[in-house]
Amino acid sequence: MKQIYLLLAVFYNTVLLSQTVLTSYPLNFDKELKSAQILTAANNATNEVFVFARTDKELTILKYNSALFLKDKFTFSPQYTEDALLIGYSFSDDGNPTLYWSSGDGSIITIIKYYFEDKRSKALQFLFPAKTQTLRAEYENNNSFYMLAESKSQSKLILYIFKNGLVEQKELDFSRFNFQNNNATNLNFRQILKENPIEKMEPNEYNSIYKASSKVKVYPFKDRIILTLDNTIKNTQLFDIDLSTLEIKEKYFPQPLGKKAPKTSNSFFRDNKLFQINTNEEQLLFEIRDYNSDQVMKHFDVAKNDTIRFKNSPFQFQKNNSKPRQLKNTAAFLKQLSNGTIGLSVFTNQQNIFITVAGITKKLIFDSYEISNPENVFYGNNPSSFYETSVYFESIWDKNFNITTSEQEPLATDKIYYFIDKNQKIRMQSILKFKDYCVLGYYDLKTKHYVLRKFTDGYN
């Protein structure tokens, strides 16, 4: 959560005490740093942790037990993967890992299973139909590897599920559903995704506000997928997809109504609750709705002269990566918020629900003129400059969705991003949620080691 970095600067010594080096392993990547990739993964069935470190010359696999002690290791030649990109992993029922390597054009997925018992590997190839489909997301779930693609000619999503050397293909047909834009113009599914590319949310992790401000979001779960569309300011169009039956259920959730039409709106799906927000310069409306019962659990109507009762942090304004500054009141915040793309991100831990409300504005300087949100404008070769602004605040609730007066404490992810920002000699970092804490894996340029470091929520 972005503004917490300022608090971390104040409590730097405390933050240092709340993270621990779990283990490190020597890897000399000096000559191969540009081609190097490192992926850290956990086998959810065994709680074993694996590190996959590759260069153009070799692949090193480290296997740690559930206590993060090195249990086994071996090194492979880069056969079949010299020019490929490591895009994901899965674990077979026997506990051995499988890695997925994509060719430069994405048309060939090389699938290699690595056997620790006798230090051998077995390779297969999957031909991805890149001419007819566009890959939109890759992710791991339930020890399987998923690829979500979009048809280039039909209103369909195609889901590929890889497990135990087999691939299952599922087609999700959206041709029978109706879609509209803000002008009530009918569109098809492909047109919606062309204007608003899919952004994948992590169901059990904190999603940055830049991802969460997307108008089309997909939430992958074990046996279902939730797809939300906020391409119109009036409602959220939600699709609940059963991966066993391929049944697609559509639901509309109207945005809360205010005195004036909103200028921007969005939503976020978390724990079977839909969080919706919209705003203009005069008013902010925020609702929490139970997905199963459709009951409105919380409703807030905030005018520009009001105090936002569910706000637990100051209003912050930031340009690019400069130091944030505080906005003095709700009116100033709503003015900035309504001029951009609004978004909210919701994260939960064992004690609380954390909500970030933010607005993102992209601006292009062109011949001394500022043009906001210029994604669809073409300017040829004329000189220009680009910058981005954001406004945001944090809200903390208890598990019963009651407002709290809790002071914002840093989450493990906050501390991780602060640690990364303050350490310029680390590369190839990745975050793994493991048990009740987070593990940051990174390559240390100074020590030439790959380090696994533990971070926990809170100051202690």
> Other C-beta atoms within 10 Å of 238: how many?
20
- Tell me which residue has tokens 């009918």: 186
Alpha carbons 110 and 98: distance in angstroms, whole number: 10
> What is the distance in angstroms between the CA of the first residue and the CA of the last residue of the chain?
18
Element at 381 (helix H, strand E): none
Closest CA to 215 of 191, 190, 239, 236: 236
Instruction: Please state the φ and ψ torsions of residue 159, each to the nearest 5 degrees.
Output: -110, 125
pLDDT score of 31: 75
DSSP string computed for 327-356: --SHHHHHHHHHTSEEEEEEEE-SSEEEEE
Q: What's 403's DSSP letter?
A: B
Assigned domain for 196 exists: no
Task: Specify whether 103 is located in the same domain as 219.
Answer: no
Name the residue range of residue 349's domain.
207-410
Distance of CA 157 to the CA centre of its chain: 20
Residue 319 pairs with which residues in a beta bridge? 389
Distance CA 17, CA 33 (A): 31
Q: What is the pLDDT of residue 363?
A: 63
Cα separation, 87 vs 112, in Å, equals 12
Separation of alpha carbons 318 and 392, rounded Å:
9
Same domain, 355 and 422: no
The answer to the question of residue 149 being in a domain is yes
- Amino acid letter, residue 391: V
Pairing of strands 199-200, 216-220: parallel
Are 446 and 345 in a shared domain? no
Query: Residue 77: what pLDDT?
Result: 85
Cα 124 from Cα 221, distance rounded (Å):
27
> Do 421 and 435 reside in the same domain of the chain?
yes
Last residue of a domain, one of 410, 428, 452: 410
d(CA 134, CA 153): 10
Please list the residues that pair with 454 across neighbouring strands. 20, 439
Contact 146, 140 (CB under 8 A): yes
Rg (CA), the chain: 23
406-415 residue pLDDT tens? 877 788 888 9
Out of 386, 410, 434, pick the residue that ends a domain. Answer: 410
Query: Do both 37 and 52 map to the same domain?
Result: yes
Residue 189 lies in a domain: no
Report the number of distinct structural domains present in the chain.
Answer: 2
Which residue has 């917490």 as its token pair? Answer: 4
Are both 397 and 436 inside the same structural domain? no
**Residues of the chain predicted below pLDDT 70:** 1-18, 363-387, 460
Nearest to 289 by CA among 265, 262, 269: 269
Assess contact for 429 and 414: CB atoms under 8 A.
no
Residue at 200 is within a domain:
no
**What does the pLDDT read at residue 368?**
47
**Domain match, 399 and 346 both:** yes
Q: pTM for the complete prediction?
A: 0.88
Give strand pairing partners of 151.
Answer: 133
pLDDT of residue 170: 97
Give which of 311, 313, 400 is closest to 353, Cα–Cα. 400
Please report whether residue 71 resides in a domain.
yes
Residues 116, 226, single domain; the answer is: no
Cα–Cα distances in Å, from 370 out to 168, 219, 327, 360, 367?
49, 35, 22, 15, 9
Q: In the beta sheet, which residues pair with residue 171?
A: 158
User: Residue 190 is encoded by which pair of tokens?
Assistant: 């492909």
CA distance 84 to 100: 9
Q: Side chain identity at 276, as an amino acid letter?
A: Q
Asked if residue 303 is part of any domain, the answer here is yes
Q: Classify residue 182: in a domain, yes or no.
A: no
Same domain for 135 and 44, yes or no, is yes
CB of 46 within 8 A of CB of 66?
yes
Instruction: Let me know if residue 199 belongs to a domain.
Output: no
pLDDT digits (tens, 9 = 90+) for 253-308: 999 999 899 999 999 999 999 999 999 999 999 999 999 999 999 999 999 999 99
The amino acid occupying position 334 is L
Question: 306 and 429, same structural domain?
Answer: no
Please indicate, yes or no, whether residues 63 and 50 belong to a single structural domain of this protein. yes
If asked whether residues 213 and 298 sit together in one domain, one would say: yes
d(CA 336, CA 319): 12
